Structure 1
């Protein structure tokens, strides 16, 4: 069993409002902790199956694992809560390939990185928690600090990463391309991944925005993405989902006009409650962008574009917030206005995109690829959350033991917003430090519940 006594002592100290850094630093670390893992020996278990038929409940385990060695510039964090992202779905079904190849390559880069190359992979790219220990060279953070973590792991030994840290050749996503992620009771991060936890949010609420909010910020707002401005029409696929729900909020907060694409009326109502007015229920309107597995249907692109113009007063969209990929990409390129931008990250419906290039080159459109966010973008996105400008879109939270079911729900798209996971937090509702700010925004905080 995990070192429950040491973990209980840590949890008691964390729960003490007037704790001092030395109180946390003086407590012994446990030797082991519970973590959600996939195992190298299981990577062939879904061979020959379609993605839809692969079941994360069969591959994900909750294991007892040893606390990793702490290196320079790193921190160990007691994880109060985490959340499920689509990269955990990919890891759990070993697509597009098993993540152990990432760990093996990382492990070869240095003796310290060799810690990550293990026969198990601790997953998770979000956390909210409390710093337990910091390694040599860490001065900003100390034990007891309440933090969230963004998932950008970089070495910054190459000049390529110093203008935009996402361009570092050694850039990795923590908990996906590194080990010791956030779906665990203790996580290992680089200290420069840490950011202040929003004081008005619970642990599980604070753990929800990290990856998706930062990703949406770079993709939509940043000059490295679409550079959205006031008045832009922004087509947002999956506008009530884990990623799209933040894009919708960012568009509204930035004076843009989101055109929200959803899959049912329940999700449409959530978008309306956020303040969006232009909403397309693609299921009710029965858009079929593919005639069959190999053939797209341009007539449906045209019908879709016509519907968008009905909602925008005759205007095409300036920006398309793309992440479904193969299923929607041809339509996205078609409906974007002349000179507009299709900004893409992920490809949840398939990586091989097909589109009619005439509508791109002759109409001077741009396709921009984005991936997570650099340090500055992640910090700016988190600042908006801390100030109550952008709100968590948490719909529910599972206990750590039921993480496989939570990942299964995300894989099946039966969720709304973000799905949280309680790690060390014994119940929901803990961790709020600013009740006054919370009261001002409570309806928005609970919107996806």
Structure 2
């Protein structure tokens, strides 16, 4: 579309003041799933479902801009596990979310469509803002967090994650970030870190904010200096940020990984205590229905061997069914298991005697509120936490990118270019970047 070409060129040329004068395109390219294909994987196990079949790049109409909202020209985005879930229609097709949201109001009805533009991360430039927006203007370089709230009821006003109409943008709403244009609420926007490229800046959003709330915030584990923190998947998209937060906060991370290559990435981040669960051969389940407490004990003994006899104060949980029994067992007396996901299965089993008799706590943690997301992004902008981008794909290759995440064939975060024609663009602070280049590139090529 010529108008989108003009917007793209203005951004690449640094003519951000011109954005407000350029017309918004009537349509744009977005990565979608289709409502008439939700049964395409029927009968297949999860691992046999291929996102390359279900994710499409379509030309879609630009949505109407409502009050308190913004349209953003997306330079880059990233893959999260919620995009994988969307693409394989698990645990339910996301069209269920869109239909429910569409019933909320005439404006929300825009989201109930036979296609779903996916993606919960972006970096880009504000194109237009709706009525009532005063903190942002066309031409602002931004990133977006993925919390979508209405805040018309009282429940969300201490913690917006508790809003009765809390949703994850691009997963439970339409018009997500894996596209050339995205629709967000203005209170999702944050300043783009000036020392990062478009693809680097897009990659932390969801996982960085999630890790911050889960581990650092008072709403999560409230980590303190000296805490022993057991981190599952410590080199992955979520765990790589948890590892950085533990190290920066004076805690002692015990990093659980699945290969020597992933162990080496954790060492690059500065971690010293590492468990390669594949090399150790842990089998926490005897069969589909029965776990093996002896394996929990062997795992706990390995942790104490590394820590000098200490059990974890905090267990950073997200694999779910496969590991949850071991996590509850491994936490110290009075310790905390904080969970934000269940990538290996939602139905957790654990021996409650280890929980109640040892006064342990299980805390559920889901994404982050605006303040937590802002703080997490501020740490990125100051160079205290770094993006964990390992590889970048084109918009047309989003299906392959999602497949790599689905099969755990990736490290850190996987990026996707939208309007950015190539990697390496968008850096505004070369001096700060030079100071942190090793940290920024720690996952590159991994």
- Deviation sequence 1:191-241 (CA, Å, 0-9, x none): 000000000000000000000000000000000000000000000000000
Note if 1:345 corresponds to 2:329.
Answer: no
Match of 1:77 in 2: 72
Match of 2:165 in 1: 170
Give the count of matched residue pairs: 444
Match of 2:256 in 1: 261
How far apart are the structure 1 equivalents of 2:13 and 2:259?
Answer: 44
> Which residue, out of 4, 11, 16, partners 1:14?
11
Match of 1:376 in 2: 371
- Report the TM-score when normalising by structure 2: 0.99
Instruction: Describe how 1:354-393 pairs up with structure 2 within 5 A.
Output: 354-393=349-388
Note if 1:36 corresponds to 2:23.
Answer: no
Match of 2:396 in 1: 401
> Which residue, out of 304, 308, 331, partners 1:336?
331
Match of 2:133 in 1: 138
TM superposition shift of 1:293: 1.0
> Which residue, out of 85, 100, 104, partners 2:99?
104
TM superposition shift of 1:18: 4.9
- Deviation sequence 1:388-412 (CA, Å, 0-9, x none): 0000000000000000000000000
- Contact preservation (8 Å) 2:123, 2:142: yes
TM superposition shift of 1:17: 2.5
- Report the TM-score when normalising by structure 1: 0.98
Instruction: Describe how 1:43-58 pairs up with structure 2 within 5 A.
Output: 43-58=38-53
- Contact preservation (8 Å) 2:229, 2:246: yes
Q: Any runs of at least 4 consecutive aligned residues in structure 1 with deviations exceeding 2 A, and if so which? A: 16-19
Note if 1:416 corresponds to 2:411.
Answer: yes
How far apart are the structure 1 equivalents of 2:15 and 2:395?
Answer: 27
Match of 2:213 in 1: 218
Match of 1:314 in 2: 309
DSSP-derived class of the 1:24 partner: helix
Instruction: Describe how 1:174-185 pairs up with structure 2 within 5 A.
Output: 174-185=169-180
DSSP-derived class of the 2:334 partner: strand
DSSP-derived class of the 2:282 partner: coil
Note if 1:298 corresponds to 2:296.
Answer: no
> Which residue, out of 225, 234, 240, partners 2:229?
234
Match of 1:272 in 2: 267
How far apart are the structure 1 equivalents of 2:331 and 2:47?
Answer: 30
How far apart are the structure 1 equivalents of 2:192 and 2:204?
Answer: 11
How far apart are the structure 1 equivalents of 2:190 and 2:204?
Answer: 12
What stretches of structure 1 of length at least 5 have no aligned partner? none
Match of 1:86 in 2: 81
DSSP-derived class of the 2:426 partner: coil
DSSP-derived class of the 1:342 partner: strand
- Deviation sequence 1:139-166 (CA, Å, 0-9, x none): 0000000000000000000110000000
How far apart are the structure 1 equivalents of 2:50 and 2:423?
Answer: 27
- Contact preservation (8 Å) 2:227, 2:313: yes
Match of 2:195 in 1: 200
DSSP-derived class of the 2:59 partner: strand
What stretches of structure 2 of length at least 5 have no aligned partner? none
DSSP-derived class of the 1:195 partner: strand
- Deviation sequence 1:316-353 (CA, Å, 0-9, x none): 00000000000000000000000000000110000000
How far apart are the structure 1 equivalents of 2:19 and 2:29?
Answer: 20
TM superposition shift of 1:19: 3.4
- Contact preservation (8 Å) 2:16, 2:140: no
How far apart are the structure 2 equivalents of 1:188 and 1:85?
Answer: 18
How far apart are the structure 1 equivalents of 2:334 and 2:160?
Answer: 28
How far apart are the structure 2 equivalents of 1:19 and 1:427?
Answer: 19
Match of 1:61 in 2: 56
TM superposition shift of 1:16: 2.4
- Deviation sequence 1:282-338 (CA, Å, 0-9, x none): 000100000111110000000000000011010000000000000000000000000
